[in-house]
Chains A and B, each alone.
Chain A
Amino acid sequence: MQVEERHAGDVRILSIADARVDARSAPALKESVAAVLSAGTRKIVLDLGRVEFVDSTGLGVIVSCLKQVGRGGEFVIASCSQSVATLFRLTRMDKVFRVFASTDEAVHSLQTARGE
């Protein structure tokens, strides 16, 4: 799996460049998040804009990323395809994660939250 990184202020954006986050590809995502956290970042946007399909193994890894970030940080989702949104809804993860329509919206929300 290829994960591209960029940042906007103190927000780090991780964009998955693969079409699937599944049993085969997901572990690489966990490593990327761990690397970003060890560099001190606490606000992460996971951009799923190019992802067409996530299975429950991939979802499990995304959940593990949320746990890694923990209460001291923010880990939000941006740009879900219809299929990914369906999986989040079926598994009630839409209640657990903050999901934004675009990375811009997600970044804006995390940056706005900084001063509060």
Chain B
Amino acid sequence: VPSQTFAIASDVAQVPELCQGIRALLSSQRVDDADAIPIEICVAEAVNNVIEHGYRGDPNQTVEVVASVEPRRVVLEVRDHGPVFDPTSRRLSSLEPDLTDINALPERGRGLAIIREVMNEVSYLRRDDMNTLRMARDLPPHVESRDAT
């Protein structure tokens, strides 16, 4: 299974480069844009959450993303060494907007809801002082070039 580990400092300025690396891996494995784009969005959201909530903005820590492209799914593990931080235990905000009250539209807090929307599996594990958020998205079966590998 093609797998790659990306490591960045816990600084939002580093997130674009990480996202580019993920997109390059997905592209090299012929993952269609229809899957690669939402996956990239989720990686950015998960890593931003770690930086903001896990490390509380401390830019001198490390965030790792292990991305694996299996024939029928993409698995991403976002790892950090911050305090216990389980985003899956947080109350999930609804993505449905109240169209009658624009002023009530939230300006924050959509990250995890987006991840839940895009991913088929989301789980959290705390082990050896490390947080791991595991996300997996199933891929459609019809891409011959990828199935052949």
Contacts and interface: CB of A to CB of B under 8 A. Distances in A.
Name the residue among A56, A57, A87, A96 with the largest chain B CB count within 10 angstroms. Answer: A56
B102 A67 contact: yes
Contact of B105 (A53, A71, A82, A96): A96
A24 to B, nearest CB: 5
A59 B102 contact: no
B139 interface: no
Interface in A54-74: 55-57, 59-61, 63-64, 66-67, 70-71
Nearest to A58: B44
A22 B114 CA distance: 15
A92 interface: yes
Interface residues of B, number: 30
Contacts of A55: 15, 41, 44-45, 48
Interface in A37-57: 53, 55-57
Nearest to A57: B48
B108 A60 contact: yes
Size class of the contact patch on chain A: 20 to 34
Contacts, number: 77
Given A60-B107, A61-B107, A95 B41 contact: no
A23 interface: yes
B107 A96 contact: no
A59 B48 CA distance: 14
Nearest to B104: A67
B77 interface: no
Contacts of A96: 97, 99, 102, 105
Interface stretch (B32-40, B66-74, B84-92, B125-133): B32-40
Interface of B: 12-13, 15-16, 19, 33, 37-38, 40-41, 44-45, 48, 52, 95-97, 99, 102-103, 105-108, 110-111, 113-114, 117-118
